[in-house]
Amino acid sequence: MKKEVKLSGIPIVSGWGMGVAYFVGRAVQQTSTVSISRQDVGNEIMHFNEIREQARKEYRQYITDLSDSSTTDISILNIYEHILDDPAFIGQVVETISTKLYDLETSIRLVSNDFVKRFESAGTAYFKERSSDMVDVCEKLISYLYNDDGQAKSFVEPVVLVVLRAFTPTDILAYDKSKIQAVVTVSGGKTSHAAILARSYNIPVVSGIRNISESIKPGDQLLVDAEKGSVYVRPSSIVVARYKKQAIDLSALNELKRKWRRPVYTKDGIEIDVLANISLPEDISDAHENGADGIGLVRTEYLLSNRKEMPSEAIQYEYYKTILEKAGNKHCVIRLMDIGGDKVPQFFDMPLEFNPFMGWRAIRIFLERKDLFESQIMAILRAGNGYDYSIMVPMVTTLQEWLEAKAFISQIAQRAGVRMPRCGVLFEVPLAILEMSTFMKEIDFASIGTNDLIQYLSAADRNNAKVNYLYNPIEPAFLRIIRTAIRCANDNGMPLSICGEMAGNPIHTVLLVGLGLRRFSVIPRSIPVIKEIIANISYAEASESTSHINAIESTEDMAHWLKTLNKRLLGDVLQKLPITVDV
């Protein structure tokens, strides 16, 4: 038997899955030209219209089948109907058949390639991900040329889908979803339609795997760890045992959920808030079930997904109202839309940017497009009447930028005749967090977004497999910045949370409490685990233990010190918890 091979990629949808490798789809780029005679042109065009209608009916059937699912955003399928009816797409295929005398498959592939290249050259992650929509339609149409009835295919055993191109929704919908354990793909982002669908079915996805066909063969046993972005080909018994432990840990996690539907205190009586990060109204139930002490982050840009235009104030109002109603008497922090970077709405006319993550984004857009700013603020203010909520502004860089945004919110509140809500800053730009003290008199609360902050400080994209080794939250210089920020907030009596991935990693809990953090904001399923750790440590002891970290100079030494710290203050608590991180 061949030895185990471990491949590294980017976690897109978290979770674990194990099954045999099943390769799906054909890459659009893999095509050879086939010529036809001029007398066959009419038949090819008629066949094109027939298979477009077949595809349209199939997508409509998918929508009908999924319409009863409250967790699935069926609107992600509507775009395929638009592509099928797009005059530009239809016209180019017909023209290629008629003038170049290529057969239908060749013509569809060549035109699809052209569309994909246009999307890829658009310069933003959003349009790059939209290229997968074109791939999906292309492959759906071509499937009918090979007498593929388009019906969901069943598997005898659990499988891991292996995709040699951009991952598309039909890669899931075309198969028996109960047998799909995970997806491994060359490309596909967290905001793609396929990722949204996979998330709704709890199917783990790892992207960014290079040279897949060289490492994975059809029928190979695969174990996918989409927590860390690892794919094990022909996994060893040790790795499989770890996976099976993960399955057993579900019962332990359910027990922790029941235990921690209440506030948590350290061993010496210090209360620590553990809040939930959410995107959808449906996520509130998950937050309650896991014992959230409040909602620390509502990612409002979900509203923009798959829309042809900016959602109206009325639509936004209903969205925020539903979230606040479900949150009940718990405090809710609503973050303004973080438009830009990899979250570019389909309808939004963004300028071509070589580095959109550091370009026209979030508050920078709002301060220029006051109409969008006003619409969201007015909807939040109306929906928030009578509820305990606050507004958080992302990507603030300077104090002047913040003062302008705050003044505008105040003007809208006065015009609406409602009280000015509590407003705070999400510190994720290095310049802002290094000058945090200048913001103290002008904000009501603060939060630290470690995900973007680490990227900007290290100049390393965490979604880039080539450089994400530099994305390290225990880099000593980064921890000194976090410590200074927490001290600044505490000294000024300012509520401060950390809402990035660092806060949800159990390995960092003792460290963050020791640095003075009293408010964590994490994904719902992490809440019981974080609370269990907090209940097993002394705030004073953790604080004393972290008082000398300035003397640690390397990331390697910091990792060793942190492991020793966890062992000394927690004993075997981490080993007993239902977690998959390396303790």
| Residues annotated as catalytic (active site), given as ranges | 193, 499
Distance from C-alpha of 170 to C-alpha of 192, rounded to nearest angstrom: 13
Looking at residue 77, the DSSP 8-state letter turns out to be: G
Tokens of 173: 């919908």
Across-strand partners of 335?
299, 392
Nearest to 581 by CA among 284, 83, 228, 119: 228
- The single residue listed with the structure tokens 């390697």 is 556
Tokens of 298: 């509502």
Judge contact between 453 and 500, C-beta under 8 A. yes
Where residue 459 falls (left for φ over 0; alpha for ψ -120 to 50; beta otherwise) is left
Judge contact between 409 and 391, C-beta under 8 A. yes
Buried b / exposed e across 399-428, counting CB within 10 Å, b at 16+?
Answer: bebbeebbebbeebbeeeeeeebbbbbbbb
CB under 8 Å, gap of 24 or more: what pairs does 196-200 form?
A: 196/73, 196/76, 196/305, 197/72, 197/73, 197/76, 197/169, 197/172, 197/173, 198/12, 198/13, 198/172, 199/13, 200/69, 200/71, 200/72, 200/73
